[in-house]
Chains A and B, each alone.
Chain A
Amino acid sequence: MYPEVVAKIVNDYMERVRSQLRVVPARQQQEFLLEIQSHVYEAYQHMAGDDDVARILAVLRSLGEPAEVVSDRLPGAMVRSGAKRNLPLYIIAGIFIALFGIPLGFGGVGVLVGLLAAVAGILVAYFAVAGSFLLVGAIFTLLSFVRFALPDVWDKLLALGVLQISGPVADFLDQLTAPSQALLMFLIATVFAAGGLGLLWLGRYLLRGMRFLLSLTFDWTRRFAQTVRRKLRRDQREGLPVALPGPIRTPPQAF
């Protein structure tokens, strides 16, 4: 299909594309690589010139850096921060990349796990507070109902010590009639329930923000890994007879 030296350059480029597609399912990865191979072949056939190496380098330069070519096959934090995504998959992918993709060692993995744990802790604490508010609201609603509709049960609960009301609260309640006490408890229940529901509603934004932060961290890790890997590859390639001359530069006016 290609002269030997050209095949080497194409293989090297395809390998770089493949490494960018590590988190993509195997079948999609194969299909995408085949499509890019097809493009490279067609472009090479149509590229004028006598020098095979110059022709293939021009084709690859025109195609762009592998990161640009696969950009939408990978998760991007900035562009899709508001979109629905599979969060656990992101976290697992991030940890896998941290473990196998970047030479950060256990220190880097520790930082990543620490960040994830901190974010998870904040989320759990927030929703625990929201849940507590709702629980208090439900308890006060129940008490309000018992006080209003089942005064005998109320008195029995007080006598058994299940309900313990003392101090200024007891003094204040003694001044009110039973229906007023029930109404007061119902109002308190409403405030807590509204607070709990409000917290749950705001939690959507908190989740979105946290997801954005996680994606940003993951994206940063991926970019850092790519930079390091590219540098390592460049160092390794210095000994080979033919290689792409570093990253393919993008002309400023190109897409």
Chain B
Amino acid sequence: MQYSDECKDRRITQLRKGILELAVMGVLYHERHYGYSLVRVLTESASISLKEGTIYPILARLNADGLVRSEWVESDQGPPRKYYALTSSGKQLFDELSKEFQLLISLVQHKWAGREHPAHQGRKLAVRKG
């Protein structure tokens, strides 16, 4: 039985949603950005379709958790811009999450391509309870 396009799109959306926060942290790791410039970097560096408004809930979450700091900067071209940068704890967390992400990738590739990555064998994926 063939899967439907809707079924595939729904899963792709879910997959991207989970990773987008990590990608946002990655972009803000070295350079500060305002919302629009962040969207541009994300869409230009990876040719994916991104609903721009979804960036703001992510930034709000990161801000609430103290993982990013923000400041308003006047702009010559229009309204002021709110710049975001990763805090030191945000950077620390990003490093941790990147490792987890790499483990997840290796897990998926193991299932998919058999034993192509012997380097990862024996490493366990840390799963934390709620």
Contacts and interface: CB of A to CB of B under 8 A. Distances in A.
Interface of A: 1, 31-32, 34-39, 41-43, 45-46, 62-65, 68-73, 82, 250-255
A45 B75 CA distance: 13
B60 A65 contact: no
Interface of A (DSSP majority class): helix
Given A43-B36, A71-B57, 7 more contacts: A31-B82, A35-B82, A38-B35, A38-B78, A39-B35, A39-B52, A72-B57
A72 B58 CA distance: 8
A247 to B, nearest CB: 13
A6 to B, nearest CB: 13
B51 A38 contact: no
A82 B130 contact: yes
Given A35-B35, A38-B82, A41-B79, A65 B53 contact: yes
25 contacts: A35-B82, A37-B79, A38-B35, A38-B36, A38-B78, A38-B79, A39-B39, A39-B52, A41-B78, A42-B34, A42-B77, A42-B81, A45-B77, A46-B40, A63-B53, A64-B54, A68-B53, A69-B56, A72-B61, A82-B130, A252-B5, A253-B9, A254-B49, A254-B51, A255-B50
B64 to A, nearest CB: 8
Most buried by A among B20, B77, B79: B79
Nearest to A38: B79
Contact of B36 (A42, A65, A68, A71): A42
A73 B13 contact: no
B17 A255 contact: yes
Contacts of B77: 42, 45
A63 B36 CA distance: 10
A252 B78 contact: no
Nearest to B38: A39
A254 B36 contact: no
Contacts of B56: 32, 35-36, 39, 69-70, 72
B96 interface: no
B120 interface: no
Contacts of A63: 51-53
A1 B79 CA distance: 9
Interface residues of B, number: 35
B54 A68 contact: yes
Contacts of A42: 34, 36-37, 77-78, 81
Nearest to A252: B9
B36 A72 contact: no
A255 B54 contact: yes
A43 B5 CA distance: 30
Nearest to B10: A252
Contacts of B6: 252
Contacts of A43: 36, 52
A47 to B, nearest CB: 11
B115 interface: no
Contact of B78 (A45, A64, A69): A45
Contacts of A35: 35, 56, 82
B34 to A, nearest CB: 7
B16 to A, nearest CB: 6
B80 interface: yes
A68 B52 CA distance: 10
A250 B51 contact: yes
A253 B79 contact: no
Contacts of B50: 254-255
Contacts of A71: 57
